[in-house]
């Protein structure tokens, strides 16, 4: 699982990173809000955001994430005890709130509850499997995917049986860079050659859906 951590206290930041890496998570950590905002589309499975950080606060980053993804887990950590601030965080779509100071064990429990992927390994059909945490596709061995193919497939399977819009794909796969719908179609065409036939449905003028039997 890939997590973005925004925490401007270097000591706490390092402590969280070390503990979560021991759990096998991949952590990208930031101490500056602007730098974190520039990276939010890099295919994360979970966000841990402090509120009071330099440049751009965690609430505004939360709002930006929710503009494009309503379902990805977001945990707010803060020393704030102001009720209006807490209500604001929940109002903009955070999933949970952890007040500082806290034990790292508390954070681990929150992450395991909120951010764990539903299925570590997804069976796409009789022959294909996808490992959600490793982000690897298998059929008689591992199938090589490019970075963009991996990001696209991971987002499709994270939102399996739901429509993924062009805007969502552009934000997460191109990580905020400018691209065209033709670029998406070309990427989809390449990916279709590596996944089960007819599993990826085109939703005309809107996006794509990965159809998977539950």
Q: Domains in the chain, please, with CATH?
A: 2-114 (3.40.50.2300), 121-210 (1.10.10.10)
- pLDDT at res. 47: 95
- For the stretch 63-70, contacts whose Cβ atoms lie closer than 8 Å and that sit 24 or more positions apart, written own/partner, are 63/92, 63/93, 64/37, 64/40, 65/40, 65/93, 66/92, 66/93, 68/41, 68/167, 68/168, 68/171, 68/172, 69/168, 69/172
Residues forming beta bridges with residue 77, ordered by sequence position: 50, 98
The pLDDT assigned to 164 comes to: 87
User: How far is it, in rounded angstroms, from Cα 88 to Cα 179?
Assistant: 33
- What pLDDT score was predicted for residue 59? 93
The three-state secondary structure class of 69 is coil
pLDDT of residue 158: 82
* Strand boundaries in the chain, DSSP class E: 2-6, 26-30, 46-50, 74-78, 96-99, 121-123, 129-131, 136-138, 142-143, 163-165, 200-203, 207-210
pLDDT score, position 10: 94
Q: What is the pTM of this model?
A: 0.67
Q: For the chain of 214 residues, list the mean pLDDT of each consecutive stretch of 10.
A: 92 92 88 93 89 91 89 88 82 91 88 71 90 88 93 88 86 77 92 94 92 79
CA distance 91 to 102: 23
Residue with tokens 């939360």: 62
The token pair at 214 is 């539950």
**pLDDT of the residue at 214:** 63
Integer Cα distance of 35 and 95 in angstroms:
23
């Amino acid at each position: 699982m890939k997590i973005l951590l925004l925490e401007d206290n270097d000591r706490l930041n390092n402590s969280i990173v070390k503990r979560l890496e021991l759990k096998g998570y991949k952590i990208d950590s930031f101490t500056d809000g602007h730098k974190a905002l520039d990276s939010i589309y890099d295919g994360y499975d979970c966000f841990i955001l402090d509120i009071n950080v330099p440049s751009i606060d965690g609430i505004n980053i939360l709002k930006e994430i929710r503009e494009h993804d309503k379902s990805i887990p977001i945990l707010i950590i803060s020393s704030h005890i102001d009720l209006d601030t807490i209500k604001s965080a929940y109002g903009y779509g955070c999933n949970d709130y952890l007040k500082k100071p806290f034990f790292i064990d508390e954070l681990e429990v929150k992450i395991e509850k909120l951010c764990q992927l539903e299925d570590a390994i997804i069976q796409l059909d009789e022959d294909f499997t996808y490992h959600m945490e490793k982000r690897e596709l298998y059929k008689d061995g591992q199938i090589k995917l490019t970075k963009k193919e991996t990001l696209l497939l991971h987002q499709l399977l994270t939102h399996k049986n739901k429509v993924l819009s062009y805007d969502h794909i552009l934000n997460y796969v191109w990580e905020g860079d400018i691209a065209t719908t033709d670029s998406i179609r070309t990427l989809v065409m390449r990916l279709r050659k590596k996944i089960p036939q007819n599993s990826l449905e085109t939703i005309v003028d809107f996006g794509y859906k990965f159809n998977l039997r539950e």
